[in-house]
Structure 1
């Protein structure tokens, strides 16, 4: 029986000595220390920027909501394809803004099933901003008729595409 050396079996797993020596000799750069006043000033500017962003976001939400209402009224009186596309884009923009600010998405891993050895992953959606959630629900409830019309048009379009293909 031939003698098996451990070094030859695990040769692919071990790093060569040259690579180990290079890692030992590399210097790690350390960022320079900052004094407390500069850290405090940076945090104050970040806080003022976040307040300014919140004001911009509020005006952005108001503008998107106004667009939904104005284009909804225009679609109610003028059933054209361009009005329909504009209204659809306005609703999409409004819901994207609300989704980004009002909700938070987390993935949580569950326990491992001992029979199948599979681990479930749960998606949790948390409501971060309750006011925005209520606003979105109110706008969607008020624009329900227009959204139902959009759904019917999309359904008809899908049937036409299925029939053609």
Structure 2
């Protein structure tokens, strides 16, 4: 399905326990999951930069499947996200995000692991930048990427969110290399 350059970007807000996330979708799939407890402005700024001229329209009903899928994951009832995503980025970013979606639930990889997987072993920093630009937190599980030494590293959603997501998947706070299952 081709994106209509005038079609709205639909959004909703998922509020579940301590989670408060803005979600957005195009007619092709989920295109944005925001950082927790951030104002609507974060979504509005992102949409203006990525989908210039397309209006943001709140549509809780249309986004129920996405909100429901994320809620099931956050409640530990689901181990993955099967609904469509609509990712817009460079070819390199899309390769990185595809590699992220291949990291199994409860497992982690390092930035260099991802660089090798996309056959760009010298591009570890660029991989980090692409991961930082991931617009669809959780559904494109960039929280599963850790430092080569096992340390937790930066995360657009904040380190608290990354820790909570890894705790959910692994059952314990990752403290060092070896506390998480690496693939």
Query: TM-score, normalization: structure 1?
Result: 0.28
Higher Cα Rg, which structure = 1
- Greater relative contact order (Cα < 8 A, sep 6+): 2
Query: TM-score, normalization: structure 2?
Result: 0.26
